[in-house]
Structure 1
Amino acid sequence: MTAVLFRRLAEQLHDRVDGEVRFDDGSRATYSTDASNYRQIPIGVVIPRTVDAAVTAVEVCRDLDVPVLSRGGGTSLAGQCCNAAVVLDWSKYCTRVVSVDPDAGVAIVEPGIALDGLDDELEPTGWMVGPRPSTHVSCTIGGMVGNNSCGSTAQAYGKMSDSVRRLEVLTYDGTRMWVAATSDDEYARITASADRRAELYRGLRELADRYGDEVRARFPDIPRRVSGYNLDSLLPENGFQVAKALVGSESTLVTVLRVELQLVRRPPANALAVLGFDDIAAAADAVPAVLQHQPAALEGLDHRLVELEHSKHLAEKALRQLPSGTSWLMVQFDGDSQEEADRKAHDLVEHAEQNLTDHTTILDDPMQKKQVWEAREAGLGATAYPPNDPETHEGWEDAAVPPDQLGNYLRDFRDLLDRYDYGTASLYGHFGQGCVHTRIPFDLRTADGVAKYRRFAEDSARLVVRYGGSLSGEHGDGQSRGELLPIMFGEHLVGAFEELKALFDPANRMNPGKVVHPNALDSHLRQGAAYRPWEPSTQFTYGEDDHRFSRAAARCVGVGKCRGHESGVMCPSYRVTREEEHSTRGRARLLFEMVEGDVITDGWRSTEVRDALDLCLACKGCKRDCPVSVDMATYKAEFLYHHYQHRLRPMSHYSMGWLPLWARAAAFAPRAVNVLTHTPGMSKVAARAAGVDPRRPLPSFARERFTESFRPDPTGVYRGRVVLWPDTFANNFDPHVAHSAVAVLRSAGFDVEVPDRTVCCGLTWISTGQLGVAARILHRTLAVLGPHLRVGTPIVVLEPSCAAVFRSDLPDLLPGDEDARRLAQQTYTLGEVLARYAPDWHPPALHRAAIVQPHCHQHAVLGYTHDRDALTAAGIDVGVLDAGCCGLAGNFGFEAGHYDVSVACAEDKVMPAIRKSEPDTLVLADGFSCRTQIRDLEPGSHPRHSAEVLAAALRHGVDLS
């Protein structure tokens, strides 16, 4: 009967809704969880193209009596964004700014627009949204309304309920209306009707009258009360604010269709003071004194968080800015000028040094401030997988108490953690408003561990209430805390919440099981006592995940940074498609469900997982940009290896995947091959036969390979020997790049050698999942390089993707091989080898400007600092683009079916930045893929490898016109 109902539901949604309707197993798996401990498989997913389409979707669900969950960015930490319901995902299409009043600072927006995207659109007006959660790159305005979001800026601007002026909402029974503050006259006008809206307003007034005194007595008067429904907004002294009463209701009462926001002015300047203390509780004790200086933000962090970020290299530059101490307060001051902001910061520091601590510093450099704030925002990622300690979880991660009680609360809370053997948890958060963040090493895989988690949550709730606090100070109740609300509010007020729920949603079809009538906090766990994932054998080792693929597949914690559009590399395919399944998080969810096995049931043979991974560019951006270092490129290679084992592969795996072999063959007759691949008609036939998109021009083979034209020259050597790696691309397509590197290295005093036999890093086989072949090739390469490796000879690699294989993939693919470990340690980029072994070498200055498109693997694995320094030393004014992936990404952009996504990635930021540059600006890209993409999309351009520029400097700029 259920299957028949869901089939009818899917058919009617398809017929009636202007949007994408997905009831397939892959989509249901993708939306099975949020950033919490919970997992519930949805009935289906609807991605409406318009607000009206969403209204129709709810109508269809109502007709068939099916529950609905309205979802924003999917970053909720309390389980409110997963349910056995029809999920409405607003974030792909319903992202419009309906109107902006630049005089009043008021905007009306659709619920799917992301916070950073909205702020970008508002920037010309001088306005912005006040609350700014750490997930600002991906959290949506609708989700922020649903959660009553806060963030560090809430110190100055309050919670989301303080920013909402009006809401357009839809009840499950179909009532659509705008709600706002309601005067007595307006209330009388509304209730004069006999319609459903009048019934709702009368019911709200009755609730406010009947429970008003208890609300005044039991709602804690603190800045960060997020738990419970906002009944206090309905009190007459608060203006009967219906919109504000619905903020934070977590899709359990209404569906939010549009939001009218009161914006705030962007502060022209700010300064950051950092105060160091010997203990996190001592830092909290100082909060009341700091608050007297009226900061715009006041955050706390402890030594544990700093240690974890150091160990993960998440924010090392930022952490070097911290003064002495083991705990710190970050205090931001805004001003109409930098002078005013600095003065406020100096006033605080002067007071602090006299009364609070000797350990202070002031940061007013924009980059330093940005780095320190990024360190604070990286807290969840840093604490999720602490080295040598158990993984951590949400579950008690955002309680809030009165700020003047914070120090004492933290001492008692730390004692509670110790009593439950959870003492490794880091403590940090929005200390100016008494809100404490932490992730705790709960054992959620055994019955005893889950029972212990429940007891801890109950004891923690009692502790918070004893201090007059709120169970949630930011993340909401959802399922984590819904069951505990009677401890905070008492049964009578929880009864009021239930009445409010019944007023708006009498059938309990809006996100059921959250906030009121909640599912048990230890039910629907993503792990749980029955958790027993499939544990397949693998080719990579997954050492950071206990050598278990199931742990790697579960690594994602759901914060959604991969859904951002602002900076970094991750995740290029999501930026183009705006599809959850094409984000790193979405793919991770599918892999988790694959090893879980009850939705995705065919393991490595899954077409759902294959299709989601198909648009992964294997850029490795997530390895660097993801807060928990999900490495989707490696997971993709692993999956493809098993998926196609003993099966016919796509033709591109045999053509692009075996490129080094075909390149060797082409070397016997490069002109003939170039004629075949570049003659109109013939080239298209050849491309289609090779599984290559015919719109993609194939690169031309060089007339002579680098290894054939290279000649040893031991003269002028005074620094020793290096081996120059003859990668497939420089060797066969761009030998002038390798010759330029030889000139630079010899000028710097090195004796340059190249391997005397054919070698390969195996990259193309790895990226296409042909890992057995890759391993054999790497074993042969290590045999050739062995003598050099055992005497410590540096191996200079010009192609970033090849260097990344040696540094990252090789040790995981050939574990225990000492030569593999040596090669990983002895691999250098050109800039790195110059910095380490020839720091006093400098070429003549060129005095040119350049923009650099770093290869994604440089960003993710290698870093670009030393290569940038080498260019700067040559008189190049270097501007490094933060433009994401070029979109070609090795074989990806050549393969049939990928061309449009590949080009769209480049046209997002890379190509516009290049076209806007001055005509005489050099365009540098060390990756062969990057140079190829730029040449293809901007004919006549001349992107260069940095080795070419350094070599040109030796020739006083020849050939750089």
Structure 2
Amino acid sequence: MTRTAGEHLQPRDFDVDALAAELRRRVDGEVRFDRGTRAVYSTDASNFRQVPLGVVVPRTPEAGAEAIAVAREFAAPVLSRGGGTSLAGQCTNTAVVLDWSKYCHRLESADEQARTCVVQPGIVLDELNRQLAPTGLRFGPEPATHMNCTLGGMIGNNSCGATAQRTGKVVDNVVRLEVQLYDGTRFWCGRTTGEEYAAIERHGDRRATIYRQLRRLRDEYAEEIRRRYPDIPRRVSGYNLDSLLPEHGFDVAGLLVGSESTLVTVLRAELRLVPVVPERTLVVLGYPGIAAAADAVPAILPHEPIALEGVDHKLIRDQQIKAMNPQALAELPEGRAFLMVQFGAGTHEEAERQARRMLDALGGTEHEADVAFLDDPAREHELWQVREAGLGATAHVPRRPDTFEGWEDSAVAPDRLGDYLRRLSQLYREFGYASETGPSLYGHFGQGCVHTRIPFDLYTADGVATYRRFMERAADLVAEFGGSFSGEHGDGQSRGELLPKMFGDDLVKAFGRLKAIFDPGNRMNPGKVVAPYRLDENLRLGGGWTPASPQNLYFRFPDDGGSFAEAANRCVGVGRCRQHTTPGGQVMCPSYQATGEEEHSTRGRARLLFEMLNGHGDSPVTGGWRSPEVKAALDLCLACKGCKTDCPANVDMATYKAEFLAHHYAHRPWRRPRSDYTMGWLPWIARAVTRVHAGRIVNVLGHTPGLARLATAVAGVENRELPRFAAETFEQWFARRGPRGTGARGTVLLWPDTFTNHFHPHVARAAVEVIEDAGWRVTLPRRPLCCGLTWISTGRLTTAKRILTRTVRELAPHLRAGGLVVGLEPSCTAVFRADAFELFPGDHDVRRLRGQTVTLAELLTRHSPGYRPPRLGGRAIAQVHCHQHAIMGWDADKQLLKAAGMEAEHLDSGCCGLAGNFGFERGHLEVSKACAERVLLPRVREADAETTVLADGFSCRTQLHELDSGGREGRHLAELLAEGLADSADAQ
């Protein structure tokens, strides 16, 4: 399977500029051959990296077809890409990349009676099933990336997921495909009866030639296909030549499923749908080890579960270390390995009966297990998240070697799974990969598919050589068990080279002939599956990877060994940041949600930062910290910090952005936008305005038509309403009033952040009343201080560190005495809980500040035993500030509101879109509004007048005040509690 000279063309083989110009002239879509885009698409979720020629984002399937026609005229390779989450390297190539996900995402039709639908390739699975929901039908296969994987990508990979236990692989759920060949031939295909074949033959065209060649190929290799193809549920490796057999109806669509863009481009697909299972129940079985759990699978399968997943204690431990899914993990039974067995039926009672029959059958046998029965749908969902988070959870575990894909989805017959896992574990030990800390084993055990990430050393030549030897031995092991190298993720470059071990030389030769039938010039995703690149070629890291090592960093990156390169390399490409539907409690990447642009996803920005370090010497991104491509991508990062929590690899793009901006503008402050000064220096400006009693004048200037426009122009910000200065700051009020109350619980320091102090002091006044009523005495810092937030967010980190140092020094006596600091503004509280430590990880007072800073809700629930909040009642919808979501969480608030008798709905809205200075910066207004219009503003407008809009964040309240929120204003938790106290006093 070696490649011949010229098989894989390089950009120098043709005029790339002319290709780009012709694509722009003829294709209805976005044509991008710029450095930044090429860097963003240079890798997928695999170990591999190849910089594309350029990217085409077609607006219609027909535009995509035209792009292929243009590429053909230049003999340029083409790669059709879905969600970019491929783990075997099939979505990275030196080619023209077609990204269908931005525009070609229509559900074109649905036939409820026939249980079919027609879709474009860019539609995301969760979005398809959301649109199908009124029909009671859904597309069956559901990979763990269901929230962001596209149907085109699923067809390319022959995806499966946990639901394949009931519904089968994608190949089992495709009726027809509309495909286009590189030479321009285009047709619909599916199962082909004898009459249909004869009709195709009579046309005598290119399609007829293809069908004749396919039949000839099938007839020649039929017996070898029947003999060598593993008869197991999860055979995904290789081409689906078995779909051409008579017993499978000469199914050309089935043949093309799983061909990874190497044969055709899929323009549309007709899919087979299945009824939604109305009721489900989940049983979790605990076993002493993962092989013992696998041994129990054959005894469970006769009971026909709709899903049967396995996880080991190492995966659970990794999630515990990363504080992922804590409530779900607490529900697990005793054991060091677990089977998650789900049953579905028309009624809950029937589903539960099925589960109990299974338990009765296992009882008294060697497969009897410790049992946890989960009847709460919310808990079931959380436990499935434990399983779905496997890849991210095991990728970057603190103080552990990094793990990688490569052998992440092998599959064997379920009745041989336990023995296979024992042999695989033995292989791990032989190669030095096994330890108590990893690698973990988990997967779709009901179909014999095993997922794992292995601590390969892909940083040294010896490590890469060991990786190759392991892959070859692992392939031999699976072949011995009659299994498949891939049970879900495809072959791509990871396993293409190994296919002779599984199929034999004759069938691999047949694969080459199949490739030649559809793509004789080898221009469709060359180097994958057939005539593949070596599995240790084109590595994203590799022994030769020598990234720049930036010095004089401001943030210390304590979880990445102090290395910005390690931080930039955190992204594993699973694409959780590419949300297309309501995110399910996820905040990260509001700018991607608003624009649909890969470069504005956390993943896209991480790829650019990785390329900026130029570890391969051929990066399209040049200039290091001065890179305009990186600056452009980070410009629309709202620094919401959502990715710090929501990303399974905990990429922290807000911190990376601040670090980048600090270096980008170093020694050239004149290049900074004016808003960096007006917004970044806001705390000092506000203090100066207060000192000279100019608040009223500034308010007039900022809110008088004409003058307001001039003021925003001078400030270099968007033409938005500027916040009004309060007539009296909170600090002034408190100085007049002084502390009150018994202080029976002790003294807390209430942090007078700039936003609350100067603009919304009523919030802090309310907080004082509530805190004192809870038995605390309130104090303030002796002199004006700042957390440095605005300097951090604008990348003025030298100033931010100086300000934070002064603040920590002032607070040190209070902290050393064990005193708590109460934050009211979530973004400032998050600085004390996260940013300060990341800037000064070795400072013990900073560590105290991190551990002793609390929110108002945390003070009242976790530090005030016996406290009973005033009765509030009623209903609220809560816009939780991004930084609170990412750093502090909302559990304490939820608990407090419940104790107060208020029914509070945590809005699934993500970021409000203002995000501190972001929404005021020039060029951001439309994205800011788009973020607010996704969920927040529509939900607020439709809420009844009695519903309170809870918004602790100053940005969130400002956004609600300025934009069309139906006249509703956001309110802080402190205000609600203070009003409850007043109402209680009045009632008495």
2: CA distance, partners of 1:939 / 1:230: 56
Tell me, what secondary structure is at the counterpart of 1:840?
A: coil
Code of the aligned partner of 1:550: A
Task: Give the corresponding residue for 2:212.
Answer: 202
Task: Work out whether residues 281 and 408 of structure 1, in 8 Å CA contact, stay in contact via their aligned partners in 2.
Answer: yes
Q: Indicate which of 669, 679, 692 corresponds to 2:704.
A: 679
Deviations 1:906-934 (A, max 9, x none): 10011111122221001001100011111
Deviations 1:187-210 (A, max 9, x none): 011012221000100011011100
Question: How far apart are the structure 2 equivalents of 1:579 and 1:958?
Answer: 54
Name the SS of the counterpart of 1:192 in structure 2: helix
The superposition leaves residues 146-185 of structure 1 with CA deviations (integer Å, 9 ceiling, x where unpaired) of 0000000000000000110000000000001000100011
How far apart, in 2, do the equivalents of 1:767 and 1:385 lie?
Answer: 26
Matched, 1:468 2:486: no
Q: Pick the aligned partner of 2:194 from 152, 159, 184.
A: 184
Rounded to whole Å, the distance in 2 between the matches of 1:669 and 1:386 is: 52
Counterpart check, 1:724 vs 2:750? yes
* Matched-pair contact (CA < 8 Å) for 2:157–2:490: yes
Aligned with 1:543 (options 532, 548, 558): 558
Matched, 1:621 2:642: yes
Residues 576-635 of structure 1: CA distance to partner in whole angstroms, max 9, x if unpaired?
100000000000000000012532120000000000000000000001110100000000
Corresponding residue SS for 1:562: coil
- Alignment-derived partner of residue 945 in structure 1: 972
What's the CA shift for 1:692?
Answer: 1.1
| Aligned positions of 1:22-101 closer than 5 A | 22-101=32-111
Contact 2:870 2:984 in 1 (8 A): no
Q: Does 1:579 align with 2:593?
A: no
**TM superposition shift of 1:349:** 2.1
CA shift for structure 1 position 867: 1.7
- Give the Cα–Cα distance (whole angstroms) in 1 for the partners of residues 513 and 386 of structure 2: 43
Alignment of 1:460-859 (within 5 A): 460-537=474-551, 538-565=553-580, 566-567=582-583, 568-596=586-614, 598-647=619-668, 648=670, 649-667=672-690, 668-694=693-719, 696-710=720-734, 711-859=737-885
Q: CA deviation at 1:102?
A: 1.6
What is the match of residue 914 of structure 2? 888
Alignment-mate amino acid for residue 712 of structure 2:
A
User: What TM-score does the superposition give when structure 2 sets the normalisation length?
Assistant: 0.96
Distance, in Å, in 1 between the alignment partners of 2:315 and 2:776 is 43
Question: Partners in 2 of 1:558 and 1:957 — Cα distance?
Answer: 53
CA distance in 2, matches of 1:506, 1:453: 33
SS in 2 for 1:721: strand
Q: 1:936 to 1:339 in 2, by over 3 A?
A: same
Instruction: Measure, in 2, the Cα distance between the counterparts of 1:923 and 1:431.
Output: 46
Q: Distance in 2 between matches of 1:939 and 1:932?
A: 14
2:409, 2:485 within 8 Å by CA — same for their partners in 1? Answer: yes
Structure 2 contact 869–896 (Cα < 8 Å) conserved: no
Superimposed CA distance per residue, residues 229-261 of structure 1 (whole angstroms, 9 cap, x where no aligned partner) = 000000011100000100000000000000100
| Cα shift at 1:872 | 2.0
CA distance in 1, matches of 2:348, 2:945: 35
The aligned counterpart of 2:335 is 325
The 3-state SS of whatever aligns with 1:847 is coil
How many angstroms apart in 2 are the aligned matches of 1:920 and 1:235? 65
Please report how far the alpha carbon of residue 712 of structure 1 lies from its aligned counterpart in structure 2 after TM superposition.
Answer: 2.1
Per-residue deviation, 1:292: 1.1
Check the 8 A contact 1:181/1:242 in 2, yes or no: yes
Secondary structure of the residue that 2:915 maps to in structure 1?
coil
CA distance in 1 between counterparts of 2:386 and 2:114 reads 35
Equivalent position to 1:448, from 444, 462, 473: 462
The answer to whether residue 900 in structure 2 is matched with residue 874 in structure 1 is yes
Partner residue in 1 for 2:4: none
Q: Cα RMSD over matched residues? A: 1.2
User: Helix, strand or coil: the match of 1:333?
Assistant: strand
Question: Is the contact between residue 346 and residue 362 of structure 1 (CA under 8 Å) also seen in structure 2?
Answer: no
Distance (Å, rounded) in 1 between the aligned partners of 2:709 and 2:460? 58
Distance in 2 (alpha carbons) for counterparts of 1:281 and 1:578? 43
Preserved contact between residue 305 and residue 426 of structure 1 (Cα < 8 Å): yes
CA contact (8 A) 1:273 1:349 kept: no
Deviation of 1:714 (Å): 3.9
SS in 1 for 2:606: helix
Candidates 442, 449, 455, aligned match of 1:435: 449
Please list every run of 5 or more consecutive structure 1 residues that lacks an aligned counterpart in the other structure.
none
Distance (whole Å) between structure 1 residues aligned to residue 934 and residue 250 of structure 2: 45
Paired residue secondary structure (1:716): coil
Q: Which of 932, 942, 953 is residue 906 of structure 1 equivalent to?
A: 932
Partner-residue secondary structure (3-state), 1:393: coil
CA contact (8 A) 2:877 2:906 kept: yes
| CA distance in 2: counterparts of 1:941 and 1:31, whole angstroms | 42
Cα distance in structure 1, aligned partners of 2:649 and 2:358: 35
Cα deviation, residue 959, structure 1? 12
Equivalent position SS for 1:561: coil
Stretches of structure 2 lacking an aligned partner (at least 5 in a row): 1-10
Structure-1 separation of matches of 2:486 and 2:869:
59
Question: Hey, what's the Cα distance between the residues in 1 that align with 2:869 and 2:468?
Answer: 65
* Correspondence for 2:303 among 293, 302, 306: 293
The TM-score, its normalising length taken from structure 1, stands at: 0.99
The offset of 1:842, in angstroms, is 1.6
2:116 corresponds in structure 1 to 106
Give the secondary structure class of the aligned counterpart of 2:103: coil
CA distance in 1: counterparts of 2:667 and 2:710, whole angstroms: 28
Q: Which residue is equivalent to 2:6?
A: none
Q: Is the 8 A contact 1:952 1:958 kept in 2?
A: no
Q: Name the structure 2 match of 1:420.
A: 431
Using the alignment, how far apart are the partners of 1:582 and 1:656 within structure 2?
Answer: 23
Equivalent residues in 2 for 1:143-154, closer than 5 Å: 143-154=153-164
Do 1:428 and 1:437's aligned partners in 2 also have CA atoms closer than 8 Å?
A: yes
Deviation at 1:665, TM superposition (A): 1.5
Structure 2 counterpart of 1:367: 378
Q: 1:310 aligns with which of 293, 307, 320?
A: 320
2:954 equivalent to 1:928 = yes
Instruction: Tell me how far apart the structure 2 counterparts of residues 27 and 392 of structure 1 sit (CA, whole Å).
Output: 27
For the Cα contact (< 8 Å) 1:952–1:959, is it kept in 2?
no
Q: What is the deviation of 1:904?
A: 0.4
CA–CA distance in 1 between the matches of 2:724 and 2:751?
A: 21
2:399 pairs with 1:388: yes
Contact 2:288 2:335 in 1 (8 A): yes
* Cα displacement string for residues 783-831 of structure 1 (whole angstroms, at most 9, x for unaligned residues): 2111111101100000111111111100111232111111111100001
Amino acid across the alignment from 1:726: P
The Cα shift of 1:386 comes to 2.6
Letter in structure 2 aligned against 1:408: D
Partner Cα distance (2:822, 2:504) in 1: 68
Runs of 4+ in 1 over 3 A off after TM superposition: 957-960
Residue type of the partner of 1:806? F
Whole-Å Cα distance in 2 between the matches of residues 698 and 456 of structure 1?
62
Q: Which residue of 243, 267, 281 corresponds with 1:271?
A: 281
8 Å CA contact 1:719–1:837 kept in 2: the answer is no
Distance 1:689 1:20 in 2: 35
How far has the Cα of 1:881 moved from its partner? Answer: 1.1
User: In the alignment, is the contact (CA less than 8 A) between 2:940 and 2:966 conserved in 1?
Assistant: no
Secondary structure in 2 matching 1:751: strand
Q: Distance in 1 between matches of 2:353 and 2:789?
A: 55
